[in-house]
Structure formats: structure tokens, C-alpha cells
Structure 1
Amino acid sequence: MNSPGRPRSISRRRFLGYSSAGAAAVMLGTGWWSASSAAPRLRGNPFTLGVASGDPAPGSVVLWTRLAVEPFAPDGMGGMPDRAIPVQYQVAADERFSSVIRAGVAFATPELGHSVHPEVHGLEPGRHYWYRFRVGSEISPIGRTRTAPAPGAMPDSLSFAFASCQSYHGGHYTAFQHMVNEDLDLVVHLGDYIYEQSYGFTTDHDGNPLPEYMLGECHDLTDYRLQYALYKADVHLQAAHASCPWLTTFDDHEIVNNWAGADPSRPDQDPAVFRQRRAMAFQAMYENLPLRHDQMPSGPDVRIHRRLAYGVLADFTMLDSRQYQSARDGRFDPNATMLGGRQADWLIDGFSSSSARWQIIGNQMPMAQLDRNPDPDVEQWFPSSWDAYVVERDRLLTEAHEREVDNLVVVTGDRHSNYVMDLKADYNVPNSPVVGTEIVGTSISSGRDGADMLPVGEGYLAANPHMKFCNFQRGYSRVTVTPDELVNDFRVVPYVSEPDAPISTRASFVVENGRPGAEQA
């Protein structure tokens, strides 16, 4: 995207872009702050990109919106004036807002793409709330969120969906259209929220031609802002965000295909230039997702791995398997790492410190061993997976087993396929214990229409006795967790090349409390 109006270089202080009152309003998200000036008269609806909430805690949640009266304006600024704009927000106990619980003002600054991320505290645990924003006379759509249960509480159930890989060029967001009807407590998004280029796609989902400056590859902040605007303009994605809180991480396409660590994935790219690109991509990601202040990037670095407790029913541990990846000298290199030493130790410590019945790990790339060749004399592995970091994977799964993690479930994206696989401490030992279950969920739209089964899938099942299911349709996974079991439903659509496809449950798998491994329901 070679677009005009490139953003100027800004310091860290200007990057934050807050006045003292604005900083408090945005970072803390509570209290009704007096704006230094009234909201300017805008030329249209500023809420074209929708609303969202995320990272629910027992007494708080982060809200999000980004103002854009012209979301595809060439400079990436959404047609907004170059000034801070006060954005009022309300949180209510009912959809009609007859009982407003919290209200405040956050300042949308041009330095952060006129996005706001108010963190609202003082809420009751384990209940629904409704929220909305206002700028001048314009009022946003209403969103619904839900706080996490109180610490120590054992809820009867938890319902969440997990999804990934929603390339705009891949097809329609019909899966999100159906996800809205699931009445979920949470959506877990495992990465590839955007793709860094159009891959030849020239129209939006309604068939309208896109401007030429939005048809190339993203390299700077303007490009990435426009790409997020394209994705977030989709009505089904907006509705899914407004229906419940989201918990997100990233994979590779939020920056560039197959990047890892300091590697720009292209040998002809200057590493210093790549770090600048990474900084711009992470800033655009923060501007466009319901992330807390703790997830604000610092240049090319961001802390995205984190935990979210859902009472003592479940802990969600979100991993970052991109930022800390090391180079490796073969699959069995003892020094190679997917997570980096600190994150790996943090993950292992969580195995012991968690008091939750279910430990659910949000993971970007498949963890279980997956031999792509059914010939027993030939081994063929995916390079972008935990199969490239065998020593670290075996260490993590062995630690989970030795620390007596009874109910380990890894939910994974990236692969544009549905898999169910046993997690084993050592795949080279036939009687190695089953430590947990990995559920790999398919893409929302990446890979176009897909298929129920492909010849390659038959080979996977033949080569991997610990694989229990394989499917190549589009959709998402719906997961229901109770104290006694975890049930995963693979929700699939027959096509994404056209809108309004029906949805069905292709298969369901059950993990029983205290029994590692899944069985088909």
C-alpha cells in the first residue's frame, strides 16, 4: 500500500499521546473526566469500526472503539481531525441503560489512531453488562460483555469459541455471523486477525472495489491501520465483537508471513527495517483490539502472553510462539526455543500454581507431533510447528505430567484444519503417557471453501495413531466446559466463497475430568 500521508516519527512520550487527565481516563477507564474542549462536530458516524470488549477479570473489563468517519481515508486516520477527542462511555446492568453502573471519558488521540481502551473497574463478578460510547450527538452500537467469576468460584459451565485465520480475501465471515447466535461467555482468537497483504483480492465483502492504495502489502503504520479498517468494517466481525468479550493473541500475518523472532522471513530485508515494521504492526494491532494497557507495545516488543482465570473452573494461558523463537540446528537442538526461556518457565510455573480444574492453553501453531508422510520409513514435518522444537515441547509436556496437571487442553489455530490429537510426553516412546489433548481449530475464511476430507488428511490419520480426527472445512470451535467434562464441537460451513452459508456440527469430542485424551461423542 503506497499511500500518501505517512505518519511522522514520534517519541515514546508523543506515542502515548495523552494529557494528564486523558492518560488517567484511558489507562484507568473510570470516573467522569471533564474534557478541556467539547467534541468537535464530525462529518459522519465515527463508530464505523464497531465496539468491543476483552480480557475480562472478576471486577473489570477493557472496552474498545476506534473513531473513523472515513475508515478508508488514504492517510489511515479515518477522516478524523488531528486532535484529541473526548469519548464518553457508559456501562449498564441492562440493555436499555436504565441502570448505568459506570461512566467516564477516554480521550481518542491521533497518536493512537483515535482508539480508546478504557478499563472499567468496580463491576460484579460473573455477570453480563452492556456498554456504549458517545461522541457529540453520535452514539455507538451497544455491546455486551461479561466479567469473569469471582476468585474461588466454581461455575456450572463456561461456553467459549476459539477461532483464527480470517483472511479477508479468503471469503465471507459467515462463521462470525453464526458465532453471534451461540450465546458465548468468551471468544478466544488465536491469531492471523489480519493478513499483511491483499493477495490479489480487489473488492470488499459486498463486492465494492477497494482503492488501489489498499491492494498492496503493509509496510508502515498507515498500511496496517487501513488493513485493520478493512477487516473491522465487516458487519459479522463487528457483531461477534459486540456479543461477548474476546481474549486475543497474534500469529505471523499480523506482521508478515512466517516471521519469527528477529527473522523478517525474507533474507533480502534489513533486520533494522523489519524491527520498525514490527513496531508499526504491533501499534496498529493495539489500536484495533480490546487489549489492556499491559499489552501496549513498546516499539517492536509487546507482552502478549498472559493468564485469565475463570474462577477455579478454568485458567486460560495465552502463549506467544512468534516473538521469542530462536534459530535451530535441527529438530532436536536442545538450545532451540519456541517460547523463550522466561515464557517457558512462566508456563511451567503455572502448571503448579493454578488451582483451576481445567488448564486451557491458547497456542498459535500445532503442538502435537504430526508426521505428514504415512510411509513409516519417511518422516516429514511442518517447519512452522512445535515439531521443529522437540526438546522444548517434550520438556513442557513432561513437566505438565510430573506436576500432575490432570486436565490439560491446548487449543490451537494456524493450520486451516480441524484436528484432535493426544499430547504425549515423548512421541518416540510408544507407551509414553498421554498428558493432555490438543484441539486444532480451522480457519474462519483462510483457504477458501475447504473440504470435509482431503487425501492428505487420510495420510495424516494413517501416519499418526494419536490423531483422532481430521477435517478441512471452514468455521470455528465451540467449547463447553463443566467441572466434569470439556466438549468441543467443530462448527463448520460448506463454503465461504458466497455469503450466508448454513452451519452444522461436523463432530464433537469429549475430554472427561481426570482422563487425558479426547473421545468422539
Structure 2
Amino acid sequence: MHPPLIERRQFLLTGGLALLAAGAPAYARSGPTARTTPFTLGVASGDPVPDGFVLWTRLATDPLASDGQGGLFAPARVLWEVAEDETMRRVVRTGQAVADARFAHSIHVEVDGLKPDRPYWYRFTSLGHQSDIGQARTAPAPNARVERLTLGMATCAHWELGYFAAYRHLAAERPDLVLFLGDYIYEYSYRGDRAKGRTVRAHDRQDDVVDLAGYRNRYALYKTDPDLQALHAVAPCLMTWDDHEVQNDYSNQWSQDPEVSTEAFLRRRAAAYRAFYEHMPLRPRSRPHGPDMRIYDRLRYGDLAEFLVLDGRQYRSIQPCPTPTWRGGHVVPETCPEMTDPSRTMLGARQERWLYDGFKRADARWTVMVQDLLVAPINQTGKDGQEGHFTDGWDGYQANRGRMLDALAASRAPNPVFLGGDIHSFWATDLKTDFRKDGAPAVASEFVAAAISQEGPPKGAFDKVQARNPHVRYVDLETNGYASLTLTREAIETRFQAISDRKDPAATVRGLQRFAVEAGRPGVQLA
């Protein structure tokens, strides 16, 4: 039960933290201050529901301190405020949280008691400093009629290979919700000859991050970027992960390197998942337990959309047909039997059951799968000239893909659309239960966003891709950028937005291509 609004305003007017000092521990009563602002990593909101959302920040006066603690050691009280106006004069919720070293002085505040489907503004105060003001938004009531929703899709942001101008342009569009679709950070670094002419700015360290301090500092570095901070400050977000939040091409408990034991890799995964939680606006229920952390979830946006957020990394079977020296992704021919083995899974048995049940229960206008990969099968060419399918994506888990699309078709979930990333290029595809049958109808549509700043796919991998893969309606392999979607009751309009140069911090943006998916008519139409 929330105290009356007048009491909350009185709390603010009479000094906030001081009123609670009598029952507070010594560190709160002493009122420590920091020489520099502890809000160097910005603010964020996420997981909007009809009566609230999650607020996040992490205190760090020295974000890249070598121990990963951000320059702080003692616990610190953080005052949070939520207001109905951007000047923060009409405060309607406020409270306190304790940021301590256990979770790198991050806080995850679950705000409730708000009105549905409206914007709110928020800020934090701690150690004598105040954060910037962020904007969040509550979701509509579960069955409220909703006419319009705007989304942004972002994926594959590599600090060393480019600036984050795409984030700035997406922030300027002020979407209702931002979807982060994996590779929010990159765990490896370019160095030596490999880096010459390719990098535009350096990572915080030039070796791969493998421990908790390393992952914390990698997130901290990325979150110092003003364009990323701006995007988080204008809209709530949903997020999933791909591989680079842990290690390139990992699968479940298996490193891409066969010489790394599962025990050693799970220790690394535990550190990576913990740092992911510490730096994202996730609810405390998502807090990891060792190397395990549930992120798959659902979000409803009135009667207009239901989002099913998937985890394509944590539960998957080991990648098919590995070599003696490499467990990561590579192109293999159709003769690889493991690609079609029905005992293998991308999502894990429990998540599969949850997803198929979600298909059956879906009754919003649009059913939107938020995940990290290209779902459509792609016949491509490997580095050695061999034709086949890439093992790290859905093509390596064809039986699971078939089960998923069959379950989707049988459920008659309304207007299904898959969103993804990972492949560093723009894609629009029709998804079918039988890709080998000429003229088979689409059962869902798919849009994949290009990389924010990572390099594009290898040259030659997708030569004549549309001729070899007729379900591909559009592909652009050269461009960086993001995707913007507008959902209405009649259609989803998708815009692929291209930035002029990922190596230019002042890069401009242009519309690359528009698409439409009409309600009741699966399949992508070029607009």
C-alpha cells in the first residue's frame, strides 16, 4: 500500500533522506558525498506493465576501475522519484534503494501503482548528486483497445568498430518501446595487425573479458556512450541476449573452444550473466543463480500486441557437426545429420513448452517474437567455398524450427511476426512450415535489423541469396543501422533505417526500405 501523495511530497520538501536517518545505518546517516557524479552510466527503464515499470541505474564514480567496482565500496542509499511531468514537479511515487558492492552498486526498482498507458519521468539522487531525468511509459491495461505502438530494434553494437550514431537517431524517433536483440556488448577485442584500419576507438582492455570485473567494465564502457544513454533515457526497453554477452558462438555450457571444459566455461557464463543483470533494467526475479538466469518472458500491450521474448543461447544443444578444433558456427552441407536431429533443441524443452503454450493463449492483434537470430533457412557459402547452412543459427537446429513453426500454424496465434538480429545485415523474409515446397504459404513474417556498428557478413557468403532462397523478400548486406516499426490494427509498417558511416560519430540517417505486413495476411510486402 502506498503512502498518500501529500506525504510523499512532504518527504521531498523536508529533505528526503534526512527524514529517514533515525532508523538508517551509519553510512546513510553520515550523508557521504562523491567528488564526481556517481551517475556516469546513465539511467534506464524496462519491462513496462499497466501500473509500472522497472527503473535502473548503477552508481560508478570511476566506471573503469580495474576491480570492476566503479570506484565505490561502501553501500549507498539511492532516492528515486517518478513524476507526471518532465520538470519533476508532480511527483507521484518515490522511495529508496540501497546500492552495494554485491551487485556493483546497481539498483533495480519495481515501480507500481501508476496509471496505464501514459508517460512518466524519473530520476535518482545519491551521494550528493542527481541523475539526468529519464522518460518511461506504462503499458495499456491488458484488454484496452490500442490503436498504435511504435518500436525500435537494435542489435550488434561493437564499440571498437564504430560509433553509436544509430542509437542517437533511434532516440530522436522517440519510440514507445525499444527492443535490444542481442550483442549489446562484444566480449573480445581487436589487437595487433587485426586491428589496423578497422577500429575507431579502443576497448577498455585489449584482451577478451572472461571474469566478473572484465564483464562489468565492458558494460560500463559501453554505457558511458552518450548516444546509448540518450536512447535508454527516452523509452523503456525489452531485451534478450545473443552470444557476445558471454562468448562468440557459445552454446549452453559449451565454449566455442573444445579445449575449454564445461566447468570452466560455466564459471565464465556465471560472471557474464551476473554483469548482464547488473547493467539492464530487469526485475529482481531475473537475478542469476550462478550460471543460470531466466530472461524469456512475455509482455502484453493492451489488445494490440503480445511480445514473447526468447532466449536462444542458454538452453540450446551443442552446435551440430563441430570440428576437432572448433565448436562455433561454420557452414556445413545438408549431409550433416545433426542439423535435422529431432532430439536437438535451440530453446530447450521447458522454453519450447512455454512458447507453444503462449501461441495457444495469444489473443492480441499481433503476436511478436522478440529473439536474437535470423529464423529463415539460408543456403549460403562458407569460407572454403562449401555450400550449406550455418550451424550457429536456427539452420543448425532445424527440427526445433520446424516444431516451432508447426506449433505456431496449429495454434492460429493472431498475426505472428518474428524479430531478430545477429547477422549484421537487414533481412525481410516469409516464414513457412515447408520451405522446400514451391508456393507454400507463409505462416509468419520476419524482420532482422542490421548491426549498430559491427562489420557486415563475409564477402561472398550470400551471393545470389534471393535466387537461392525464394522466401527472402529483401536483404541488404552492406549497411549499418536499425529498424523502426509501427503497429496498428490494420498493419505493421517496418522501416529499415541506414546510417551513413559507422565510423563517423556525426553519421546521418536515411530510410533504406519500407515494408508492410497486413493483419490477416501473413508475409512481407514491399511498400
TM-score over 0.5 (shorter chain): yes
Report the CA distance between 1:457 and its aligned residue: 4.3
Report the CA distance between 1:494 and its aligned residue: 2.1
Report the CA distance between 1:456 and its aligned residue: 4.7
**Partners in 2 of 1:466 and 1:128 — Cα distance?**
39
- Alignment partner for residue 47 of structure 2, among 55, 61, 67? 55
Alignment partner, residue 499 of structure 1: 505
Structure 2 residue 390 is matched with structure 1 residue 382: yes
1:475 is aligned with what amino acid? G
**Partners in 2 of 1:261 and 1:429 — Cα distance?**
33
2:37 is aligned with what amino acid? N
430 and 520 in structure 1: CA distance in 2 versus 1, 3 angstrom threshold: same
Alignment partner, residue 355 of structure 2: 347
Alignment partner, residue 436 of structure 1: 444
**Partners in 2 of 1:93 and 1:406 — Cα distance?**
34
CA RMSD of the aligned region, Å?
A: 2.1
| Range with bigger deviation, 69-78 or 378-387 | 378-387
Alignment partner, residue 9 of structure 1: none
**Partners in 2 of 1:157 and 1:218 — Cα distance?**
41
Report the CA distance between 1:406 and its aligned residue: 3.7
1:108 is aligned with what amino acid? A
**Partners in 2 of 1:380 and 1:208 — Cα distance?**
36
Alignment partner, residue 302 of structure 1: 293
1:232 is aligned with what amino acid? K
The answer as to whether partners of 2:76 and 2:127 remain within 8 angstroms in 1 is no
Report the CA distance between 1:208 and its aligned residue: 7.6
Structure 2 residue 33 is matched with structure 1 residue 41: yes
Alignment partner, residue 140 of structure 1: 131
Report the CA distance between 1:209 and its aligned residue: 6.6
**Partners in 2 of 1:432 and 1:331 — Cα distance?**
22
- Alignment partner for residue 417 of structure 2, among 383, 404, 409? 409
Report the CA distance between 1:268 and its aligned residue: 1.2
Query: Aligned ranges for residues 9-20 of structure 1 at < 5 Å?
Result: none
**Partners in 2 of 1:209 and 1:345 — Cα distance?**
43
**Which string of whole-angstrom CA distances, capped at 9 and with x for unpartnered residues, describes residues 101-126 of structure 1?**
10000100101000001111101110
33 and 431 in structure 1: CA distance in 2 versus 1, 3 angstrom threshold: farther
**Partners in 2 of 1:160 and 1:454 — Cα distance?**
31
**Partners in 2 of 1:143 and 1:386 — Cα distance?**
37
Report the CA distance between 1:498 and its aligned residue: 1.6
**Partners in 2 of 1:477 and 1:207 — Cα distance?**
24
Structure 2 residue 77 is matched with structure 1 residue 86: yes
Alignment partner, residue 247 of structure 2: 256
2:213 is aligned with what amino acid? T
Counterpart of 1:335 in 2: which secondary structure?
A: coil
The answer as to whether partners of 1:457 and 1:470 remain within 8 angstroms in 2 is no
| Range with bigger deviation, 162-171 or 320-329 | 320-329
Structure 2 residue 485 is matched with structure 1 residue 479: yes
Alignment partner, residue 464 of structure 1: 469
Report the CA distance between 1:387 and its aligned residue: 1.3
**Partners in 2 of 1:229 and 1:409 — Cα distance?**
33
Counterpart of 1:324 in 2: which secondary structure?
A: coil
Report the CA distance between 1:184 and its aligned residue: 0.6
391 and 33 in structure 1: CA distance in 2 versus 1, 3 angstrom threshold: farther
**Partners in 1 of 2:121 and 2:154 — Cα distance?**
24
Report the CA distance between 1:455 and its aligned residue: 5.7
The answer as to whether partners of 1:85 and 1:109 remain within 8 angstroms in 2 is yes
Report the CA distance between 1:156 and its aligned residue: 1.2
The answer as to whether partners of 1:53 and 1:63 remain within 8 angstroms in 2 is yes
**Partners in 2 of 1:59 and 1:313 — Cα distance?**
17
Normalising by structure 1, we get a TM-score of 0.89
Structure 2 residue 481 is matched with structure 1 residue 490: no
Alignment partner, residue 149 of structure 1: 140
The answer as to whether partners of 1:90 and 1:104 remain within 8 angstroms in 2 is yes
2:128 is aligned with what amino acid? S
Gaps of at least 5 residues in structure 1 are 1-31
**Which string of whole-angstrom CA distances, capped at 9 and with x for unpartnered residues, describes residues 467-510 of structure 1?**
11011210100000001100100001121112111101100000
1:391 is aligned with what amino acid? A
Alignment partner, residue 106 of structure 2: 115
Normalising by structure 2, we get a TM-score of 0.88
369 and 87 in structure 1: CA distance in 2 versus 1, 3 angstrom threshold: same
78 and 445 in structure 1: CA distance in 2 versus 1, 3 angstrom threshold: same
33 and 316 in structure 1: CA distance in 2 versus 1, 3 angstrom threshold: farther
Report the CA distance between 1:383 and its aligned residue: 1.1
The answer as to whether partners of 2:182 and 2:372 remain within 8 angstroms in 1 is yes
The answer as to whether partners of 2:180 and 2:239 remain within 8 angstroms in 1 is yes
Counterpart of 1:517 in 2: which secondary structure?
A: strand
Report the CA distance between 1:168 and its aligned residue: 0.6
- Alignment partner for residue 72 of structure 1, among 64, 75, 78? 64
Report the CA distance between 1:200 and its aligned residue: 2.5
**Partners in 1 of 2:375 and 2:98 — Cα distance?**
41
**Partners in 2 of 1:249 and 1:210 — Cα distance?**
23
1:461 is aligned with what amino acid? Q
The answer as to whether partners of 1:372 and 1:459 remain within 8 angstroms in 2 is no
Alignment partner, residue 328 of structure 2: none
136 and 91 in structure 1: CA distance in 2 versus 1, 3 angstrom threshold: same
Query: Aligned ranges for residues 242-321 of structure 1 at < 5 Å?
Result: 242-321=233-312
2:75 is aligned with what amino acid? A
Alignment partner, residue 180 of structure 2: 189
Alignment partner, residue 418 of structure 1: 426
Percent of pairs with identical residues: 41
**Which string of whole-angstrom CA distances, capped at 9 and with x for unpartnered residues, describes residues 444-478 of structure 1?**
0011xx59x97654511110111110112101000
**Which string of whole-angstrom CA distances, capped at 9 and with x for unpartnered residues, describes residues 169-199 of structure 1?**
1200010110111021000001111111222
**Partners in 1 of 2:83 and 2:33 — Cα distance?**
27
The answer as to whether partners of 2:485 and 2:492 remain within 8 angstroms in 1 is yes
The answer as to whether partners of 1:373 and 1:459 remain within 8 angstroms in 2 is no
Structure 2 residue 401 is matched with structure 1 residue 396: no
Query: Aligned ranges for residues 88-237 of structure 1 at < 5 Å?
Result: 88-200=79-191, 214-237=205-228
Alignment partner, residue 516 of structure 1: 522
292 and 271 in structure 1: CA distance in 2 versus 1, 3 angstrom threshold: same
Counterpart of 1:434 in 2: which secondary structure?
A: coil
Report the CA distance between 1:433 and its aligned residue: 2.6
**Partners in 1 of 2:202 and 2:515 — Cα distance?**
42
Gaps of at least 5 residues in structure 2 are 1-18, 321-336
Report the CA distance between 1:215 and its aligned residue: 1.8
33 and 455 in structure 1: CA distance in 2 versus 1, 3 angstrom threshold: farther
The answer as to whether partners of 2:189 and 2:203 remain within 8 angstroms in 1 is no
**Partners in 1 of 2:414 and 2:275 — Cα distance?**
39
The answer as to whether partners of 2:362 and 2:414 remain within 8 angstroms in 1 is no
